[in-house]
Amino acid sequence: MADDGLLHDVPGQRPVVATHERFVGKVWDISSDEVDLGQGRVVTRDYLKHTGAVAIMALNEAGEVYLVRQYRHPIGAECWEPPAGLLDAPGEAPVEAAKRELFEEADLTAATWHTLVDYHPSGGGTSESVRVFLARDLAEVPDAERHAREDEELDMEGRWVPLETLVASIYAGGVHSSSAVAGGLALHAALLQDLAPLRPADAPWMRAPEHTRLAR
């Protein structure tokens, strides 16, 4: 454990006595684990097994970030959020997945990549881990080379938004996406420190054990 005066989550899974697969879906599964907490305490915990995901805060020289407004069916709303996607391609490094998602959802490429922030959206209910990257030195993908979008992505809106507007929208309760909130506030704080908190794009990442089948 690093002795740097900072807080550090402590990895280490408690023994699992038994696992019961409750649901097998197209993208993720739901399981019940019987977990031995020690001292005779065995509890059952239901949770969603998740591949993990990446999101990208693409920052241009004008201080704007690129956001998309995408329909999210479970909450019945179109949400403003950064380009993002699942880590569902076998062997694909997280930063390469981020490059792919930026290309597919924003028609952008970036020459400079850093890790901005990592987070668990709901550690009590899902194994999902999310890494938010900062992408800079951007270029537009030529029209003839752009990705053909489908499903919810087919008609989603993309827009350059001043970072200050995103931050104000978060505090006003207008933006709720976890990746937008975590990424927007982390980027705002990092810029106040001249981006000193940034980590390398391949920085260590404390993710949950691999639970979900990849590339279904």
pLDDT tens-digit series, residues 1-12: 567 899 999 998
Q: How confident is the model over 177-216, as pLDDT tens digits?
A: 999 999 999 999 999 999 999 999 999 999 877 655 544 4
CA distance 198 to 103: 22
What are the start and end residues of each CATH 3.90.79.10 domain in the chain?
A: 53-200
The predicted-structure confidence for 11-27, as pLDDT tens digits, reads as follows 988 999 999 999 998 88
The helix/strand/coil state of 125 is coil
- pLDDT score recorded for residue 91: 87
Among candidate residues 64, 81, 153, 210, the one labeled active-site is 153
Question: What does the alpha-carbon distance between residue 106 and residue 159 come to, in Å, rounded to a whole number?
Answer: 9
> Three-state SS for 149?
coil
CATH class of 53-200: alpha beta
Q: Specify whether 153 is catalytic.
A: yes
Identify the H or E element spanning 192: helix 178-192
Q: Which residue has the tokens 């407004």?
A: 69
Does the predicted model carry a pTM greater than 0.85?
A: yes
Model confidence pLDDT, tens digit, residues 47-74: 999 999 999 999 999 999 999 999 999 9
The angle subtended at Cα 82 by Cα 155 and Cα 100, nearest 5°, is 80
